[in-house]
Amino acid sequence: MSPSRLEMLRRASSAGVWNKESGISYEEHCRLALAQAMAQGHADPANLRKILIATANMDTAPTANKYLEQHRADPELLKALIAIALEGEDAGDGPWTAANTIAEYPGAMLVPYKAELEAIAREQWSYLHLPAREALAKIAAVEDR
């Protein structure tokens, strides 16, 4: 990649918002934003939200989902996902993408968050309560052993 193209990409991505004048496609902007968020890590809630939002984009979902899967053993990631999901339906795409990610966790890791998942399962919005119910079913399976 030429130095001028690389600089253009840096300027466009540092603005954080895509526009036609940025010189890159929307898809390229999304991939670059995801790459930057993953490089900065999921400990920062803002970066985690960017990674979660990328799971809802057909172009970036495979990369974002792979990142989240690779870090699934991190209990701090699960704790942060629970906090985002608890924000509810009025908080944008973060809560429902977090809920879907939580549903992928093994039941044993979810047990400490049973009360929080029960609260999410009471949400009216199916994008929140359905994944929470899946997670609760995994907890029930662990508890029945």
Stronger pLDDT, 120 or 5, i.e. the higher one: 120
Amino acid at 137: A
- How far apart CA 94 and CA 111 sit, in angstroms, is 22
Given this model, what pLDDT does residue 144 score?
86
pTM: 0.84
pLDDT at residue 16, rounded to an integer: 55
Q: What value does the mean pLDDT take over residues 58-67? A: 96
Which is more confident, 102 or 21? 102
**What is the predicted pLDDT for the residue at 15?**
47
Mean residue pLDDT of the chain comes to 88
Domain ranges of the chain: 1-71, 74-145
Average pLDDT over residues 117-142: 96
Q: How buried is residue 130: exposed, middle or buried, by Cβ count under 10 Å (0-12/13-18/19+)?
A: middle
Provide the 10 A C-beta neighbour count for residue 106.
13
Angstrom distance (rounded) from CA 108 to CA 120 = 18
